Amino acid sequence: MAGTKALVGLSFTGVTGLTLLMLGCALESYGVYWPLFVLIFYFVSPIPHLIAKRVSDGTDAASSTCQEMAWFFTTGIVVSAFGFSVVLARVEVIKWGACCLVMAGNAVIFLTILGFFVLFGRGDDFTWDQW
């Protein structure tokens, strides 16, 4: 039951982040949908961790280096997602209010992704067989 509550909580926070992103795009005073390109960063950000997890399962010597490189690439992707909205606002493609909404949505979504990997990435007795 604890896994179900965690999954529902993560779903709620994910929807909240996407709502903030959509508000930054679709409000009448903003009306520009360029910030939706941030969705690409949301999909790409877990990939280095997943690759490092797959590679480091077999070898113990390279696991630390591989994990550190995965954290480095993931940090670069997350910083790029925040920087993307700032660059769009600086060149006046979007307004600063939309930039703030998109950055708030970024924070919520990336914390949700982190929460997912913290809760479900452990090696405990949780399995997906119960779903």
pLDDT in tens, 88-99: 999 999 999 999
Closest-CA residue to 43 (of 127, 110, 130): 110
Distance from first CA to last CA of the chain, Å, rounded? 11
Share of the chain above pLDDT 90, in %: 56
Average pLDDT rounded to a whole number, residues 107-130: 76
What is the C-alpha to C-alpha distance for residues 78 and 62, in angstroms, rounded to an integer?
A: 24
